[in-house]
Amino acid sequence: MTLLITGLAAVVVVVLRLGRPEVAGRWRLGLLALVYAGACLMWCVDGLASLARGGPFLDLADRAVVGRQTWQGLSVVALGLVAWGVVLVAGRRRRSAPRRG
C-alpha cells in the first residue's frame, strides 16, 4: 500500500510538472517529483526483496498490515512535502539575503 500511495503522489506531481511548466519552475516541482519517485523506487526494491524471500510483492490480504502501510504511505508523502517546503524556504531566503562586500 505504501508503494501505491507514493506512486500515486509521484504521478500527480509529474503530471502537474509537465502540464503546468510555469508553476513547475516557480515551485520546483521537479525536486518534489524526484523525492516521490525515489520513495517509489525504494518501495519497489523492498517488494522485490520480499519476492526473493518467498513473500508477496504487495501484501494486501491482512487488514492490519494494510492499515499500517496506509499510514506509512501517507506519512512518507507528508514528510516529502515537509522536506520540499524546507528546501523552498531555504532557497528563497538565500536569494533574498543581501550580499556582503
**Does the residue 37 lie in any domain?**
yes
pLDDT of residue 91: 85
pLDDT tens-digit readout, 65-100: 899 999 999 999 999 999 999 999 998 877 666 666
pLDDT tens-digit readout, 13-39: 999 999 998 888 889 999 999 999 999
**Does the residue 46 lie in any domain?**
yes
**Does the residue 40 lie in any domain?**
yes
CB neighbour burial string for 11-20, b if at least 16 within 10 angstroms, e if fewer? eebbebbeee
Q: 28 is in which domain, residue-wise?
A: 2-95
**Does the residue 48 lie in any domain?**
yes
pLDDT of residue 4: 95
Nearest C-alpha neighbor of 58 from the set 70, 43, 47? 47
**Does the residue 100 lie in any domain?**
no
**Does the residue 53 lie in any domain?**
yes
**Does the residue 101 lie in any domain?**
no
* 3-class SS string, 31-83: HHHHHHHHHHHHHHHHHHHHHHCCCCCCCCCCHHHHHHHHHHHHHHHHHHHHH
**Does the residue 41 lie in any domain?**
yes
Say how many domains are in the chain: 1
pLDDT of residue 35: 95
pLDDT of residue 96: 67
Average pLDDT in the 43-58 region?
A: 94
Give the predicted TM-score (pTM) of the model. Answer: 0.84
Q: What is the number of other CB atoms lying within 10 angstroms of the CB of residue 3?
A: 19
